A and B are shown apart, each in its own frame.
Chain A
Amino acid sequence: SAVISQKPSRDICQRGTSLTIQCQVDSQVTMMFWYRQQPGQSLTLIATANQGSEATYESGFVIDKFPISRPNLTFSTLTVSNMSPEDSSIYLCSVDRSTDTQYFGPGTRLTVL
C-alpha cells in the first residue's frame, strides 16, 4: 500500500480566494491523481499529475481553475482558484502502486462561504 497525507485536512474559505492543497506520499510514485467528491456525489477525476510534465485535465476541468504542481516523485499540490460555493467538496489525491490499484489520501474537506 502507500502512506499518503494531505494538508490541510479541512478549511473554510471565502469566495474569490484560492486554496492550495498538498499531497505527500511516503515513497516515489510515477503518477498522482486528484479527485473531487461533491456533496452526495461520487468521486470525479480532476487531473493526472506526472513529474516533469504538465498535468492532464479531464473534461470540465481547466488549468486556470485547478492549477497543479508536481515538483518531485513524492509530492503534488492542487490549487482551487477564485473559489465559489460550488467548489465546496472533498478533494482527494491518489497514487498508483501497482498495475491495478490506486491508493487514496485522507482528503481535504473544503467549504466555501
Chain B
Amino acid sequence: DQQVKQNSPSLSVQEGRISILNCDYTNSMFDYFLWYKKYPAEGPTFLISISSIKDKNEDGRFTVFLNKSAKHLSLHIVPSQPGDSAVYFCAASVGAQKLVFGQGTRLTINP
C-alpha cells in the first residue's frame, strides 16, 4: 500500500526555468508534508515543509503547494540551477514523526 506516490521517476529541466515536482498521498490523516533532496552517498537534506493548515509555504527559490482536497502537493524551484540536480523525495507524516516517503524523482538541470 503506497501511501505517498511520486509518479515521475525523472524530470529534466533547463537551467533558469521552473522545476515542478509532484507528489500524491492517500492517507487523509497526514498533517505534515516535507521535501528532501538527496545526493548520491549522502543522507537526505531537508528542504521545506508545510502543515495541513496551510496551502503554500515559500523559502527562497523553493515553494511547496498543498491541495488537500486533491491530496496533492508540489515543489516549485525557481529558477532552477545546476546544483539542484539530485533525487527529490516527498514525505508525509501524522504529527511529523513517522515519515512515509515517496519513491523519489530524479531531477536533472541542463545548462
Q: Give which listed residue, B34, B45, B89, B100, contacts A100 with CB less than 8 A.
A: B34
User: 6 tightest A-B contacts by CB?
Assistant: A104-B43, A42-B101, A43-B101, A100-B96, A106-B43, A104-B44
* A6 and chain B: residue at smallest CB distance: B43
B46 close to A103 (CB less than 8 A): yes
Interface residues of A (CB under 8 A from B): 1, 4, 31, 33, 35, 41-45, 48, 58, 92, 94, 96, 99-107, 109
Shortest A32–chain B CB gap in Å is 11
* 15 A-B pairs whose Cβ atoms sit less than 8 Å apart in the complex: A1-B46, A33-B97, A33-B98, A42-B101, A42-B103, A43-B101, A58-B98, A94-B43, A99-B96, A100-B51, A102-B46, A104-B36, A104-B44, A106-B42, A109-B41
Q: Give which listed residue, B44, B46, B97, contacts A48 with CB less than 8 A.
A: B97
Q: Interface residues of B toward A: which range?
A: 20 to 34
Chain A binding surface, main DSSP class: strand
Shortest B53–chain A CB gap in Å is 11
Query: Cα distance A45–B44 when bound, in Å?
Result: 14
> B32 at interface (Cβ–Cβ under 8 A)?
yes
* A106 and chain B: residue at smallest CB distance: B43
Shortest B10–chain A CB gap in Å is 13
B49 close to A101 (CB less than 8 A): yes
> B99 at interface (Cβ–Cβ under 8 A)?
yes
Residues in B whose Cβ lies below 8 Å from that of A48: 97-98
Query: Cα distance A100–B97 when bound, in Å?
Result: 8
